[in-house]
Structure 1
Amino acid sequence: MSTDHAQEFAPRWLDAREGADADARSRGPLAALAPHGSVVADLGCGTGSLGRWAVPRLPGVRRWTLFDRDPELLALAGARVPAPTVETRLLDLARLGPADLAGATLVAGSALLDVLTPREVLPVADAVAAVGCPAWFTLSVAGRVVLTPEEPLDAAVAAAFNAHQRRGERLGPDAVEAAIDAFARRGYRATTFPSPWRLGPDPAEVTRLWLHGWVGAAAEQDPDLPLEGYLARRLEQWGAGRLTAVVHHDDLLLMPPGKRP
């Protein structure tokens, strides 16, 4: 959630959002995933936050394989996931194939689907379906933000931010629907679970960074928006403990034919 695409994946931002991610992820899929969590392929792993959250909650994890195209993030993640065996794979997901997922009993990803393009979702769906295991994608942006107190500009900022999320053909808020469609054509059944961030004075750092990124992306997308004082007012409200934000996300569970959630 930054105006700079690379900054979205900066360790500072990923570490700042980890607590909000942990609080937001739905526990709903865990029972269905429990029989499938022994060998996990974590796509677009970032610093490994999904592994740190999931390994203690999935019984019987034996191997966690981290996939990312950023070698620095892979190095950080590989040292911080508490699985018995942790492997790292440097890979652009556009080139993901069934051989990369060989032996996986579960494919997972966090804050991943919305940064993919339609062309990148298809090889992921193909590779997962070829292996025949479940897939679990958490924290995809849903395109809805509710700020309290409200301001008249909120809707325009949200719309501009959502348009920014779709730049470069990225799926943005359309990601869950696109993934459901891609996997359905391969026989998978989908269940969605709400996983909203609930931000306020605590945790402070992620709220401040999110505000800067949300408003900055909107301003970049639509320079005509009158945002000169908007961010300053919102930061003042946040600093006074009067601002809360619900940033909606969805978690997605995809089960292959013959397996029940």
Structure 2
Amino acid sequence: MTDVILVSAEWLTMRQEADARSRSRRLARAAARLVEGPVVVHDLGSGTGSMMRWLSPFLPGPQRWVLHDWNPQLLARAAAVPGTDAQGNEVEVETSVEHAEHLRPDDLAGASLVTASALLDVLTRDELDAVVDACVAVGAPAFFSLSVTGRVRLEPADPGDRIFQEAFNDHQRRLADDRRLLGPDAASAAAESFRRAGWNVRAAGSAWRLGADDRALTSGWLEGWIAAGIEQRPALLEWGDEYLLRRMRQLARGELRVIVHHADLLAYPT
């Protein structure tokens, strides 16, 4: 698998609370109206299972979640902490060790709903189209959350903000192991693919809004954001060190606020 999906359990745990409060509850409720129990949910790129634990209480039971991820260690952690359905009953969990970009319709057999979180932006256009085609082939609605849009706002503003935002977005769209990643274009590309198939598409913003209570996540995100920009544009190294130091000092004083924009998408047959 490529380096873009090499994420640690610690990072996934750190971001879980911000993810949960940022995902669109409106689209989650809409997704719930599209399914009836018993519900079978296939979750792509499951990681430690945060999407399952967040979404399952919106959906009727009984539920069976099939968690797909390339990393068996993350899947084991996910399966150890299952979610609960709208009636408060624990959901059934299965795991499947495989890469999302290799998805075929047979992998989604029997699906009532297909979900993913923070996945689409690390796919190529062909891989994304394969995911869409698989959903369409089995007729399962798709709820894809937390795709980066490329927009970031930091307060107080700094001259480096725009420069590192552009460098990071270029990094998101880079060629990785001969794969051209969609990055910030993923959500709009997914919507386009579903609409081309004749499906309905609803979208909603799902921005992280990070303040003084999110210091650890803000620190981890900021370091990764700047490091990715420097990797893409090595000439930014010296400036990046100075920029990071300024921002970390503001964070330590409780002065820094960050908005990281994401998009959620719900697609379903007409």
TM-score over 0.5 for the pair: yes
Matched letter for residue 193 of structure 2? A
Matched, 1:153 2:154: no
Please point out which of 208, 215, 228 is paired with 2:219: 208
SS of the residue corresponding to residue 212 of structure 2 reads coil
Equivalent positions of 1:32-71 (< 5 A) are 32-35=30-33, 36=35, 38-71=39-72
Equivalent positions of 1:76-115 (< 5 A) are 76-82=77-83, 83-115=90-122
Further displaced range: 36-45 or 153-162: 36-45
Q: How many residue pairs were aligned? A: 253
**Partner residue in 2 for 1:218:** 229
Alignment TM-score, normalising by the size of structure 2: 0.90
Q: Structure 2: how far apart are the matches of 1:61 and 1:154? A: 47
SS of the residue corresponding to residue 26 of structure 2 reads coil
Equivalent positions of 1:109-124 (< 5 A) are 109-124=116-131
Equivalent positions of 1:115-154 (< 5 A) are 115-154=122-161
Matched letter for residue 207 of structure 1? T
After superposition, what is the alpha-carbon deviation per residue over 1:222-253, rounded to whole angstroms, capped at 9, x for unaligned? 12222231000100100100000000000001
Q: Structure 2: how far apart are the matches of 1:171 and 1:178? A: 8
Contact 1:147 1:245 in 2 (8 A): yes
**Partner residue in 2 for 1:29:** 27
SS of the residue corresponding to residue 227 of structure 1 reads helix
Q: Structure 1: how far apart are the matches of 2:120 and 2:32? A: 22
Distance apart, 1:6 and its partner CA: 4.9
Matched letter for residue 40 of structure 2? V
**Partner residue in 2 for 1:231:** 244
Q: Give the alignment's Cα RMSD to 1 decimal.
A: 1.3
Alignment TM-score, normalising by the size of structure 1: 0.93
**Partner residue in 1 for 2:265:** 252
Distance apart, 1:61 and its partner CA: 4.6
Distance apart, 1:5 and its partner CA: 3.0
Please point out which of 9, 13, 19 is paired with 1:11: 9
Identity of aligned residues (%): 49
Distance apart, 1:31 and its partner CA: 2.5
**Partner residue in 1 for 2:86:** none
